[in-house]
Amino acid sequence: MKRDERRQQIIDLLVENGVVDLEELAKRFTVSKMTIHRDLDELEAGGLLRKVRGGATIEAGMQFESDFRLRERQGSEGKERMALEALELVEPGMTVMVNDGSMAAILGSMLPRKKPLTVITNNASILESLKFEKGIDLIALGGMYSSKFNGYFGVLAEQNLTSLRADLAFLSSPAVSGNQVFHMDADVIRVKKAMINAAVKTCLLVNHTRFDRVALHVLANLDDFDWVITDQVPEPNVQQQLVDAGIQLTIARSLENT
C-alpha cells in the first residue's frame, strides 16, 4: 500500500472513531510503528490530527481543532437537526450573521427557505452555496483565508464587522465548560466576538459532546446568548451545571418531528 493511501485510510478511521491506536495501525497496515509515527507526524503537521500517547485523535483539545474537511464528515444528522432548530429563529427580511464551521455551513445552506434575507458571513462554504441565490443579499466579510476553518479572519473581517449590524447571529463553539464558552484559536475568537457585538440577538450552536470541555481562549459566557441549541441531552453533571447557571438549553428535535 502506498504512503498516501495509508494516510488517507488513517484519516478515514479517525473520522469514524475519533481516535486511532498506534500499535493497531501498525498491525493493520503491516508496517513498523516508526512508519506509523512518521505518518501521524506528517498528518499532525498538516493540522489534521493531534498525537496523543499511543496514537492520535481528531477530538478538540486546549489548542487543537481538527481540519474543516474532517469535521464536515462527522455527525451530519445531529448538525442537520440543530440547523433546522436554528432556522426556526429566522424570519424573512432579517439580517443574519453566520460564523465559520461545518455546523454553520449546513445552516447557511438552509437559509434560502426563509428569504428574502441579508446574510453576513466569513464562512467560505456559505459564500459558495448562496452566491447565486436570488432573494439573498450576501455580504462577505473578507480577510485572510484559513483552510483549517474554511473561513476568513483577521483585521479586515474584524473591522468590517464594526460597521455592520444584524438582527441575529449564529455562532458555534468547540468547547463549553460551566457557564463559559471557549475556542482554541485567537483569530477565530476575535471574529466571533465581533459578531456577538454586531448582533441584536445571538444563538450558540454546540454539539453535546463539546460540553464539559475547555480550550485556550474564552469566547463568552453562556448567558450572553439568547438561545443555546444542542443535538442531544448532555451528561447529567453538565445538565446540573446549566441549571445552576440558569441556562435554558434547547434540544434539537428529531428529523421525523421537523
Q: What is the pLDDT along the chain (258 residues), one digit of tens a residue?
A: 788 888 878 877 877 777 888 888 888 888 888 898 888 888 877 777 778 888 888 776 555 455 556 665 555 788 999 999 999 999 999 999 999 988 899 999 999 999 999 999 999 999 999 999 999 999 999 999 988 888 999 999 999 999 999 999 999 998 898 889 998 889 999 999 999 999 999 999 999 988 988 888 899 999 999 999 999 998 888 888 888 878 888 999 887 765
Distance, CA of 215 to CA of 45 (rounded, Å): 20
Distance, CA of 150 to CA of 158 (rounded, Å): 16
Residue corresponding to grid cell 434540544: 251
Considering the entire predicted model, what is its pTM? 0.77
